[in-house]
Amino acid sequence: MNCPKCNTVAEADQIECSACGILFSKWQEREENVASGNMNRYMRIATATSNEFNWTILAIVCLAVVGAFYLFSRHLQS
């Protein structure tokens, strides 16, 4: 059998790919869910990732604004 992710040859009784580390049982579960149209689990994961990404961008913007005010106030003092 070949790994579905990296195409490395794997033994039939292997749990994970020795090259990329993919878990064959999880890959098979995902493929079965996709084939049956059961995408709920994957949509929740995608949404959670998007929310985390939004919080990360908000934190970066806040840090940039605080940094800009700090530099501006130092410039006014000199």
Select the more confidently predicted residue: 53 or 67.
67
- Mean pLDDT over 4-11 rounds to 90
Fill in the DSSP letter of residue 2: B
Read off the pLDDT band of 49 (50, 70, 90).
low
- State the chain's mean pLDDT as an integer: 82
Fill in the DSSP letter of residue 23: B
Gyration radius from the chain CA atoms: 23
Task: Tell me the domain boundaries of the chain.
Answer: 39-77
Q: What is the pTM of this model?
A: 0.47
Cβ atoms of 20 and 3 within 8 Å: the answer is yes
| Integer Cα distance of 5 and 23 in angstroms | 10
CA distances to 55, 59, 61 from 71, rounded to whole Å, are 24, 18, 15
pLDDT at 61: 93
Q: Which two tokens stand for residue 41?
A: 């689990």
